[in-house]
Structure 1
Amino acid sequence: MKLALITDIHANREAFEAVLEQAHLHGAERIALLGDFVGYGADPAWVVERVQDLVAQGAIAVRGNHDDAIVLGPSPNLVEDARRAIAWTREQLSPAQIEFLASLPYKVEDSGCLFVHANAHAPTGWEYITGRSEAVRSMHATDCRHTFCGHVHHPTLYHMSSTGKIADFKPVPGVAVPVPGHRQWLAIPGSTGQPRDGNPAACWAMFDNARATLTFHRVPYDHETTGAKIVAAGLPRTLATRLVDGT
């Protein structure tokens, strides 16, 4: 089965639409949504509604820290721009949409894979996986051979051998990477709605469990329209300008 991995949409309709279209063209049979559907962007209601539709059709979805902030209130760790976006977003969502976000689990295990927003060892602690030590801690917390995470806004792939040797590398878009089950893998597809690796193109990845391959993808989208919506909504202008250079 071909599984599309999409995360950190952040209320960016144009990026989400572009990624869903490309995932369909690449033959995705199921979708896994790894959280942070809202925050930063100007189309939270549309994005949440689309996520609801996809879940109704069989998609996997987990809750991210920005989704959590809508339900429980922003944590002290959120920067001021993010807090302002959360306050604005709450006013755009219906009670049913907020209830939907509240119903999402923090992690899902399915077919030997773990799906979680931040990490496997403390899914509600929102610790970032920024290097090998955090990746090892996460992989030690699960028996699943493949873990798929969001939270970090640039694509990375970690793997650990049966002897505990850890390695990582930056994937090349469009190139299938073998991810056999005799190793443990932790993949971060990168952000669909707010990439931060210097490339403004939206991120997503495709896991083919029949072939045991993982392919990372980048999709250009109309980020100028997205940015204009953010400014028109009265959200911080920095949330629009960072889409241009992917930072």
Structure 2
Amino acid sequence: MKLALITDLHANREAVQAVLDHAHAHGAQRYAFLGDYVGYGADPGWVIDTVRRYVDAGAIAVGGNHDAGVSEAPSPQMRPEARLVIEWTQQQLNASQLEFLTSRPLSATDNDMLFVHANAFAPAEWEYIQGRIEAVRSLHATTCHYTFCGHMHEPKLFHLSGTGKAGDFVPTPGVAIPVPPHRQWLVVPGSAGQPRDGNPAACYAMFHLTDQTLTFHRVPYDHDLAGAKIIAAGLPPRLAERLAHGQ
């Protein structure tokens, strides 16, 4: 079975549609969404409705910090422009869309897999996996051999051996990586809706459960259109510029 792992969609309709089309074309049989459906982009309602349709068909969907900011209250750590977009987003959503965000769990487990937005050690505190220290701390917090998380907008793969030896690397898009279960793995697919590694192409990953391989993908999309919609909505122009440069 192939499982598509999609995170940090950030209300970017063009990127999300491109990723979903790519995953379908590459044989995805199930989907997991790792949070932050809203924030930064101009199409929060469309993204929520789209993810909800996948959830109704059996997909996993956990909540992120931007989702909690819209359905509850913004985190004090959020930057001013992120808080501004959250306030704007709250005015764009209907009651059922807000309820979908409110009902998202912080984490979910399924067949030796943990799905969470930020980390496994303190999901509600939204701490980032910035390197091996945080990755190992997260892996120590679960017995699952596979942890999938978002929050960091750059694709990365961490692993931990049974003897405690940790490693990490930046994956090459399109190259299948063996991920045997004698190690623990922490997968950060990268952001579908707002990549920040200097490459504007949308990110996602595909986990082949049968073959025990993981493939990271980059998917070009019309970031100019997505950016133009951000500006037309009256949101900060810098958010459109970030899409064009992958920053």
2:56 aligns with 56
Distance between the aligned counterparts of 1:97 and 1:42, measured in 2?
15
> Which segment drifts farther, 32-41 or 68-77?
68-77
Shift of 1:71: 1.2
In the TM superposition, residue 72 of structure 1 has moved relative to its aligned partner by: 1.1
| Shift in Å, 1:96 | 1.1
Q: Counterpart of 2:54 in 1: which secondary structure?
A: helix
**Alpha-carbon separation, structure 1, partners of 2:166 and 2:70:** 36
Aligned AA (1:7): T
Query: In 2, Cα distance between the equivalents of 1:127 and 1:5?
Result: 20
Q: 1:189 & 1:75 partners in 2: Cα distance?
A: 24
Deviation at 1:75, TM superposition (A): 1.0
How big is each residue's C-alpha offset from its partner over 1:185-224, in whole Å with a ceiling of 9 and x where there is no partner?
0000000000000000000000001000000000000000
Q: Which amino acid aligns with 1:227?
A: G
Measure the CA separation in 2 of the matches of 1:225 and 1:142: 41
**Matched letter for residue 14 of structure 1:** E
**Deviating more after overlay: 148-157 vs 67-76:** 67-76
State the AA in 2 paired with 1:66: H
Question: Which residue matches 2:211?
Answer: 211
Look up the match of 1:181.
Answer: 181
Deviation at 1:157, TM superposition (A): 0.1
The percentage of aligned residue pairs carrying the same residue is 64
Give me the TM-score of the superposition, normalised by structure 2.
Answer: 1.00
Shift of 1:83: 0.3
2:96 is the counterpart of 1:82: no
Within 5 Å, give how 1:86-125 maps onto structure 2: 86-125=86-125
Paired with 2:245 and 2:36, the residues of 1 have a C-alpha distance of 21
Matches within 5 A, 1:29-68: 29-68=29-68
**Equivalent pairs, count:** 247
Compute the TM-score of the two structures, normalised by the length of structure 1.
1.00
1:89, distance to aligned residue in structure 2 (A):
0.3
Residue 124 of structure 1 aligns to a residue in which SS?
helix
Residue 239 of structure 2 aligns with an amino acid whose one-letter code is L
Q: Which whole-Å CA distance do the structure 2 matches of 1:41 and 1:90 have between them? A: 13
Cα separation, 2, equivalents of 1:70 and 1:89: 7
2:220 alignment counterpart: 220
Shift of 1:175: 0.1
Q: Which amino acid aligns with 1:93?
A: L
CA shift, 1:95, in A, is 1.0
Distance in 2 (alpha carbons) for counterparts of 1:3 and 1:205: 8
Counterpart-to-counterpart distance in 2, 1:110 and 1:212: 15
- After superposition, the C-alpha distances for 1:116-148 in whole angstroms (9 at most, x for unaligned) are 000000010000000000000000000000000
Look up the SS of the partner of 1:48 in the other structure.
Answer: helix
- After TM superposition, the runs of 4+ consecutive aligned structure 1 residues lying more than 4 A away are none
Q: Secondary structure at the match of 2:204?
A: strand
Give structure 1 stretches of 5+ with no counterpart. Answer: none
Distance in 2 (alpha carbons) for counterparts of 1:145 and 1:215:
17
